[in-house]
């Protein structure tokens, strides 16, 4: 692939031998699939953790181009970076694929902060905030008074995740605190929300129970005098598998990146999603080695035939799981290998076999991609190390340049 117009971070893509190529057209198309799956709801693209490792701003723009009308992050610092970048026009083109302009200043929800956080900065950046308890409402209201802005707040109720949110028996207290702040004019309660724990298991009755608890909380909010306009519960699995969880807004993350929230239930392809990220690197060493050559730290692998070795310049310093030692699948020139011996900090070794005389230093090794042409996928890596595709892409280190291919340039 020759390099099309790109945006990238860090700057060293042209000197670094590895890169994560992110197909922004896939992001845009995946948002379209999610909109079709939840036709009566708006879509908040969840772009926390540097857009699950894909690169915050280009992904946010691509998601907006695909029709997402909200963006969601976990941390305030992420929200501030996102707002500043979008306002500055950073991150690539903003025109939607149908020619309409994507919103340049979309609502952004940020859902985690600790006591004493600089909430005034969030309000000045027009960030919606979440509150799980009266102390959070009090801090948001204080920041609103200090900045002279009305804070847009989403009340979180814990319907069964046991994580953020007021427990149902404490939700009335949260509603009362928010209603008081709203009466004072410091707060506008725009949303009530929660998060599903088991939506990736379509038969699990926990989801139905969470919908019931959520519906009861919405009634509590109404009785408390609140009229939240944006009620939201579903992430990717809820969006794709549970229409009853859609309410006014869905908050997909992993599916935006083209990965299935439940590969054992439905693959990306079955869901109409396209994995956006391809992780690849150029071989920095190719050499012949005799049978019996021990490989990498600890000599946990030994060549069984006269062979060729290839060295891929990616390691656990880049987020390649060390647990993938001896296991991680990699393709070179369309042939599939796996990591031989231990994953090092910066490199892994492939045993290319005796026949691979056509593989040369500088050739491209693909660790994972969209699975077309037999390339491994993030799901394959997740399976061999016993984790989830979310972790494989999100843990990719900052050292690996992200190369963003604009929509329509996939074949460049
Ligand atoms: C509150 C919240 N909403 C939505 C998401 C997106 O989840 P998913 O990536 O499963 O779509 C997450 C991510 O974990 C989350 O924490």
251: Cβ below 6 Å to ligand 1? Answer: yes
Q: Select which of 52, 257, 297, 316 is catalytic.
A: 297
Distance 148 CA to ligand 1 centre (A): 32
Query: Is residue 193 within 8 Å of residue 174, measured between CB atoms?
Result: no
Domains 24-265 and 277-405 share a fold: no
Confirm whether 48 is a catalytic residue: yes
For the question of whether the overall pTM of this predicted structure is more than 0.85, the answer is: yes
Distance 164 CA to ligand 1 centre (A): 12
46: Cβ below 6 Å to ligand 1? Answer: yes
Percent of the chain with pLDDT over 90: 90
Q: Using most ligand atoms within 8 A of CB, pick from 191, 235, 259, 271 the residue to mutate for ligand 1.
A: 235
Atom of ligand 1 at shortest distance to CA of 390?
9
Phi first, then psi: give them for residue 153, nearest 5 degrees. -125, 140
253: Cβ below 6 Å to ligand 1? Answer: yes
What pLDDT does residue 5 have? 47
Atom of ligand 1 at shortest distance to CA of 193?
1
Atom of ligand 1 at shortest distance to CA of 255?
11
What pLDDT does residue 153 have? 98
The CATH T-level fold of domain 277-405 is Lyase, Ornithine Decarboxylase; Chain A, domain 1 (2.40.37)
Distance 110 CA to ligand 1 centre (A): 12
Phi first, then psi: give them for residue 18, nearest 5 degrees. -130, 155
Distance 194 CA to ligand 1 centre (A): 10
73: Cβ below 6 Å to ligand 1? Answer: no
Give the mean pLDDT per block of 10 residues along the chain (412 residues). 48 80 98 98 98 98 98 98 92 53 84 98 98 98 98 98 98 98 98 98 98 98 98 98 98 98 98 98 97 98 98 98 98 96 98 91 97 95 98 97 86 46
Q: Using most ligand atoms within 8 A of CB, pick from 253, 256, 382, 388 the residue to mutate for ligand 1.
A: 253
The whole-angstrom separation of Cα 311 and Cα 298 is: 17
| Domain residue ranges of the chain, discontinuous segments joined by + | 24-265, 277-405
235: Cβ below 6 Å to ligand 1? Answer: yes
Atom of ligand 1 at shortest distance to CA of 251?
4
CB atoms within 10 A of CB 13: 17
Phi first, then psi: give them for residue 25, nearest 5 degrees. -65, -35
Residue with tokens 């290319």: 352
CB atoms within 10 A of CB 409: 15
Q: Select which of 48, 257, 316, 337 is catalytic.
A: 48
What pLDDT does residue 3 have? 41
What pLDDT does residue 407 have? 87
Distance 79 CA to ligand 1 centre (A): 15
261: Cβ below 6 Å to ligand 1? Answer: yes
Task: Give the residue whose CA is nearest to atom 13 of ligand 1.
Answer: 253
Atom of ligand 1 at shortest distance to CA of 199?
10
Query: Is residue 237 within 8 Å of residue 200, measured between CB atoms?
Result: yes
Classify residue 95 by its DSSP letter: B
Distance 367 CA to ligand 1 centre (A): 25
* 249-265 pLDDT, tens digit each: 999 999 999 999 999 99
Atom of ligand 1 at shortest distance to CA of 164?
1
* 185-211 pLDDT, tens digit each: 999 999 999 999 999 999 999 999 999
What pLDDT does residue 15 have? 84
Confirm whether 337 is a catalytic residue: no
What pLDDT does residue 1 have? 39
Closest to 172 in 3D by CA, of 108, 216, 224, 107: 224
Q: Using most ligand atoms within 8 A of CB, pick from 45, 46, 382 the residue to mutate for ligand 1.
A: 46
Phi first, then psi: give them for residue 199, nearest 5 degrees. -70, -20
Q: Return the SS3 of 116.
A: coil
The CATH T-level fold of domain 24-265 is TIM Barrel (3.20.20)
């Amino acid at each position: 692939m020759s390099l099309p117009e790109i945006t990238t971070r860090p700057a060293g893509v042209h000197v670094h031998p590895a890169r994560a190529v992110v197909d922004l057209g896939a992001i845009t198309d995946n948002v379209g699939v999610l909109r079709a799956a939840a036709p009566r709801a708006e879509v908040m693209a969840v772009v926390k953790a540097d857009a699950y490792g894909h690169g915050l701003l280009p992904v946010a723009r691509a998601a907006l181009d695909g029709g997402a009308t909200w963006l969601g992050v976990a941390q305030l610092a992420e929200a501030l970076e996102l707002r500043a970048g979008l306002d500055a026009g950073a991150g690539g083109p903003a025109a939607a694929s149908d020619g309409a302009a994507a919103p340049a200043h979309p609502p952004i929800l940020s859902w985690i902060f600790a006591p004493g956080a600089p909430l005034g900065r969030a309000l000045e950046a027009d960030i919606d905030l979440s509150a799980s308890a009266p102390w959070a409402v009090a801090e948001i209201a204080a920041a609103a008074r200090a900045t002279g802005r009305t804070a847009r707040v989403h009340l979180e109720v814990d319907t069964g995740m046991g994580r953020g949110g007021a427990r149902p028996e404490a939700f009335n207290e949260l509603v009362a605190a928010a209603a008081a702040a709203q009466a004072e004019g410091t707060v506008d309660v725009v949303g009530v929300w929660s998060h599903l724990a088991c939506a990736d298991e379509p038969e699990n009755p926990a989801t139905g129970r969470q919908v019931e608890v959520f519906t009861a909380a919405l009634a509590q909010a109404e009785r408390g005098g609140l009229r939240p306009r944006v009620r939201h519960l579903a992430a990717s699995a809820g969006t794709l598998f549970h229409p009853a969880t859609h309410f006014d807004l869905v908050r997909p993350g992993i599916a935006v990146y083209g990965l299935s929230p439940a590969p054992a239930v439905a693959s990306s392809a079955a869901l109409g999603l396209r994995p956006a990220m391809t992780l690849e690197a150029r071989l920095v060493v190719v050499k012949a080695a005799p049978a019996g050559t021990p490989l990498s730290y600890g000599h946990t692998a030994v060549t069984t035939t006269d062979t060729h070795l290839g060295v891929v310049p990616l390691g656990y310093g880049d987020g390649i799981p060390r647990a993938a030692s001896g296991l991680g699948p990699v393709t070179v020139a369309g042939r599939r290998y796996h990591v031989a011996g231990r994953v090092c900090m910066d490199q892994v070794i492939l045993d290319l076999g005796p026949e691979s005389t056509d593989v040369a230093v500088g050739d491209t090794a693909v660790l994972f991609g969209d699975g077309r042409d037999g390339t491994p996928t993030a799901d394959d890596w997740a399976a061999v190390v016993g984790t989830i595709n979310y972790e494989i892409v999100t843990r990719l280190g900052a050292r690996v340049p992200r190369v963003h291919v604009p929509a329509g340039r996939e074949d460049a």
